[in-house]
Chain A
């Protein structure tokens, strides 16, 4: 994994925050979970502890012109989960524009439509 510089941190953090909103806006997405295991790295946790900045929910790394994006999401039962994953990947690409990108989307929660009454999130 590339270790970003301080200026790179800011750019990546801004992009990650934007992408989180982009992902949440995709129909069928209910949650964006921290992109483990990378957010749990000692370096990332240490930076967060020092700066007080929250760890980004979406992992964004730049290698040259190419952006590598990783996200973990929860989805509702309203749309087929694979369709939601593809829509998320497409939305990320659309947000990044012409920049080359690789996208990893991991679905970690699929809610059935028969959700018990009172279930949170």
Chain B
């Protein structure tokens, strides 16, 4: 899996994490257990690898080498989102205390919920709205890639349901809407064409939770 070399706040990059998963080598191995952003990146790359395994197992195409457009798009978004981001307040039980969640931790949670669905990988994942103000309406926007053969409407509905449940449990955000867009359907080309993945046009599916 190849990625470009943008670095996180900690100074490491998605490419280094990918190399670590491939080879077990990392310039500063002691850093990994102490860095939540790198941990989230490793978890996402492992789930992407599992999706690639599913594709290969299906014998539909050689996917997962990081050069496919859909996977590159996912990696590009990962690179952007594996950062702490904004602080999301949590109600403190004692005056003067400051309790927060990072936007990055919630984005990673949404990714994890999305990727836990078979044949599904999260692409762009955004929290739109003033997440720093308690009660302000926030819209979740998630782009997903789905392996051919999985029912798209059912998948989108299930994702909205599970993301809504996870956010209700683990945040105090006022979620106004969860927009799930199937941005890629990973399917083989027609008979006679070289085996490769192509993408159907996006199929937005929006619903208020």
Contacts and interface: CB of A to CB of B under 8 A. Distances in A.
Given A80-B169, A86-B93, A116 B46 contact: yes
Interface of B: 33-37, 39-40, 42-43, 46-47, 50, 84, 87, 90-94, 96-102, 104-106, 108-109, 112-113, 115-116, 166, 169-172
Interface string A90-108: 1001000000001111111
By size class, the interface of chain A is 20 to 34
A120 B34 CA distance: 13
A58 interface: no
Contact of A33 (B35, B92, B101, B115): B35
A106 B102 contact: yes
11 contacts: A74-B39, A85-B99, A86-B91, A90-B94, A102-B98, A103-B97, A106-B100, A107-B99, A108-B37, A109-B40, A116-B116
Contacts, number: 108
Nearest to B116: A114
B101 A89 contact: no
A114 B118 CA distance: 12
A103 B170 contact: no
A60 B109 CA distance: 29
Contact of A77 (B35, B100, B106, B170): B170
